[in-house]
Amino acid sequence: MTIGVVVDNEFDHDHRVQKEIRLLLEEGHTIAVLCFDFGKTYKTYPDFQVTRVKIPRKIRDLFVLLSTNFKLYERLWQKNITKFISENKLDALHVHDLYLAKAAKKGILQSKRDIPLTLDLHENYPAAINSYQWAIKGWRKYVVQPQKWYDKEGEYLNFANHIIVLSNSFRQDLIKRFSFLKPETIYTHPNMPDFDSFQTFEKNEYSVPFHSNLPTLFYFGVVAKRRGIIDILPWIIELLEEGNEFHTLIIGPTDKADKDVFLSYVNHPIANKYLTYMPWTDMKYLPAYLKKITIGLAPFQVNAQHDSGVANKLFQYMYGEIPILATKCKAQQELIEASDCGLLYETKEEFKAAIKKLIESKTLRETLGSNGKEKLIELYQKNADKAFLEIYNE
């Protein structure tokens, strides 16, 4: 089967999509990818074809800003998807994420090829866009009108023949809220890391520019208020001021809207001594960083967006046998409790107590870390991240 994969980014750093493609290739399918070209130098892929839509990044961002009420973004994708389907003679279309569903369906109809549409949901998009600072602050909230996506969600889901979600809890939520959805057409694909790639990275024994003799807290991912990392930085500073000795390593890009607040904490006199921030690192270095870490942080704000799935950082911590300290977002709470691989908190006092407990007890850390790795291996053995392949093997 020839499957077309559509993603509205530059693709090269989208590890979830790349892993899905590798799994599909292993099943014997032919893959073609449609993505953006923002005028950079991109990788080449010998096993599949990549078609890129050339557009300045600022124009693309403007289209996204206007996409709730205007059809510029939809028409851009509809035109390119139609051409993509016809030129590659696709047998199926696999699109990421909710907001591309309508353009994808129109592209299929316009191509006059009767092919199924799989909609791959990376998040609860209506809840997500209503948490993005760029969409809800100042004049932008009147242009973006993010609340309208709660009304659009059902319409866009209905365009798909199959739906992929990050967690079973989000799957059940969709089934409960939308009676037209058939449970057998919704598949769960958790955000687990690619074992093969991680094992290759470990064999190469990459060195990383970080070392601390102190216990180290680790946050890996986008730095933003909605991700909770900015919420806990004052608590980390309090712990340091109280005489607790540990280091904090944060790796990930910072949302523009939250950059000033974040840097004010990073530059705090005491945090400045015990906090290292890196804006980015290649994924190949992650296993090396995990070997230097004591506690993995998953401080996401509890809301419908973060309830919809387990972030890949939790699975990455589990791979590295790192105990997790996390908030009680539904999906990640279920994973942590089921695998007994970390501690959960709701308040500042619970967070601080958990940090002290984990730092003081090496035995507890080792037990939780071992439990996490064991659960991750079990999920792999059960092919938890391959269930979506049934869509194309029927």
Q: Given the DSSP bridges, would you call strands 49-54 and 216-220 parallel, antiparallel or unpaired?
A: unpaired
Average pLDDT over residues 74-89: 98
Instruction: Flag whether pLDDT at 380 surpasses 80.
Output: yes
Given a contact cutoff of 8 angstroms between Cβ atoms, the answer to whether 216 and 292 are in contact is yes
Residues 205 and 349 both lie in one domain: yes
Domain holding 103: CATH number?
3.40.50.2000
Instruction: Flag whether pLDDT at 341 surpasses 90.
Output: yes
Closest CA to 391 of 24, 12, 128: 24
Residue 46 lies in a domain: yes
Given a contact cutoff of 8 angstroms between Cβ atoms, the answer to whether 10 and 36 are in contact is yes
Total number of domains in the chain: 2
Q: Which of 108, 129, 158 is the last residue of a domain?
A: 158
Distance CA 117, CA 101 (A): 8
Q: How far apart are the first and last CA of the chain?
A: 11
Residues 20 and 148 both lie in one domain: yes
Higher pLDDT, 115 or 134: 115
Distance CA 280, CA 287 (A): 15
Q: Which of 158, 183, 207 is the last residue of a domain?
A: 158
* Per-residue pLDDT, 20: 95
* Per-residue pLDDT, 152: 97
Q: Which of 158, 184, 214 is the last residue of a domain?
A: 158
pLDDT in tens, 179-222: 999 999 999 999 888 888 888 888 888 999 999 999 999 999 99
Instruction: Flag whether pLDDT at 353 surpasses 80.
Output: yes
Q: Is 383 left (phi over 0), alpha (psi -120 to 50) or beta?
A: left
Instruction: Flag whether pLDDT at 394 surpasses 80.
Output: no
- Here the tokens at position 29 are 């399918």
Residues 154 and 290 both lie in one domain: no
Residues 225 and 369 both lie in one domain: yes
* Per-residue pLDDT, 195: 82
Confidence of residue 89 (pLDDT cuts 50, 70, 90): very high
Q: Which ranges in the chain belong to alpha helices (H)?
A: 15-26, 57-66, 72-88, 101-111, 125-129, 133-136, 140-144, 149-157, 168-177, 195-204, 229-241, 259-266, 271-274, 286-290, 304-307, 312-319, 330-339, 348-360, 362-381, 390-393
Kindly provide the b/e burial profile for residues 21-45, where b requires at least 16 CB atoms within 10 angstroms of the residue's own CB: bebbeeeebbbbbbbbebeeeeeee
Average pLDDT over residues 157-166: 97
* Per-residue pLDDT, 56: 97
* Per-residue pLDDT, 259: 93
Residues 281 and 145 both lie in one domain: no
Average pLDDT over residues 131-157: 93
Residue 213 lies in a domain: yes
Residue 330 lies in a domain: yes
Helix axes 312-319, 362-381, angle to 10 degrees: 110
Residue 185 lies in a domain: no
Residues 212 and 324 both lie in one domain: yes
List of residues 6+ apart from 32 with CB closer than 8 A: 2, 3, 4, 5, 48, 49, 50, 51, 84, 88, 90
Question: What is the domain extent for residue 295?
Answer: 196-380
Residues 211 and 141 both lie in one domain: no
Residue 164 lies in a domain: no
Average pLDDT over residues 18-33: 96
Residue 190 lies in a domain: no
Residues 69 and 218 both lie in one domain: no
Residues 56 and 201 both lie in one domain: no
Instruction: Flag whether pLDDT at 234 surpasses 80.
Output: yes
Residues 140 and 277 both lie in one domain: no
Residue 167 lies in a domain: no
Instruction: Flag whether pLDDT at 137 surpasses 90.
Output: no
- Here the tokens at position 158 are 């209905």
Residues 153 and 200 both lie in one domain: no
Residue 179 lies in a domain: no
pLDDT in tens, 27-43: 999 999 999 999 999 99
Residues 14 and 67 both lie in one domain: yes
The CA R_g of the chain, rounded to the nearest whole Å, is 21
* Per-residue pLDDT, 322: 97
Mean residue pLDDT across the chain = 95
